[in-house]
Amino acid sequence: MKNGIKLLLLIATAVLLAASGCEVNTGSQVQIKMKTVEEQTEILESYTFEDYKNIYENVLKEASRLEKDEDLLKWVIRTLAQEKLLFNTDLSDKQIRALAKEAMEKDKLWKSIAEDRYGIKASDAEVDRYIEAGPDTSSLPQHIAIAESLNMNLDEYNHGFDWDIYEKAVIWQKLKPKLEKKYNTTNNETLAEKFNAEVEKNYKK
């Protein structure tokens, strides 16, 4: 049970950090209404592998239609998946691309500020160890489903497509002590808000 909880915490940290580039009130002025906590919990508890596989296959078809650039395509896929699983707002093609581009740019800026301002970065070895300790052992249907939809096994998916998400999670683990000292709090949500505010302040559209 403890190992299962540890795995969920590792994955949840990375997923939340990945989603942070696409907030409800985005810089692109797209207003997004999120599903309620109850709705999200119901999806998490009731969706099967087949449910997720169907969603992700449709997401990939839609993403391929919307975007050809390989780097941005990854973020279009993530934004579409969030729309299907987390949002109660139907987004236009233009909004999807705008949100994906914004999330990609903020992700790069987030990591740049962590390194340039705080001297924090993650080595390949550190990220690989993080993945091996948690995501690589995942049996969660959503992870298996998206990997298969991308014609990858879980290892290829974690160490390839989603590697940048886990890189961010490792950086966050190393960054938190410096932020705790700077902002005089150990509250994870508050620290994330403070650091995201730093990113927003330096983000140029």
Q: What domain range includes position 149?
A: 2-202
Asked whether residue 5 carries a pLDDT value surpassing 50, the answer given is: no
Question: Quick one: pLDDT at residue 28?
Answer: 57
Query: How many independent structural domains does the chain possess?
Result: 1
Band (204; pLDDT cuts 50, 70, 90)? confident
Structure tokens at 175: 């960054």
Strand partners of residue 198: none
Mean pLDDT across the chain = 86
Question: Quick one: pLDDT at residue 45?
Answer: 86
* 6-20, 87-101, 122-136: least confident range: 6-20
- CA 1 to chain CA centroid, Å, is 25
Asked whether residue 77 carries a pLDDT value surpassing 80, the answer given is: yes
- Tens digits of residue pLDDT in 33-74: 888 888 888 888 899 999 999 999 999 999 999 998 989 999
Question: Quick one: pLDDT at residue 27?
Answer: 52
SS3 string, 87-125, reads: ECCCCCHHHHHHHHHHHHHHHHHHHHHHHHHHCCCCCHH
- Tens digits of residue pLDDT in 137-175: 988 899 999 999 999 999 999 999 999 999 999 999 999
Question: Quick one: pLDDT at residue 35?
Answer: 86
- Tens digits of residue pLDDT in 80-119: 999 999 898 889 999 999 999 999 999 999 999 999 999 9
Question: Quick one: pLDDT at residue 17?
Answer: 45
CB atoms within 10 A of CB 151: 9
Residue 77 makes CB contacts below 8 A (sequence gap 6+) with 59, 60, 63
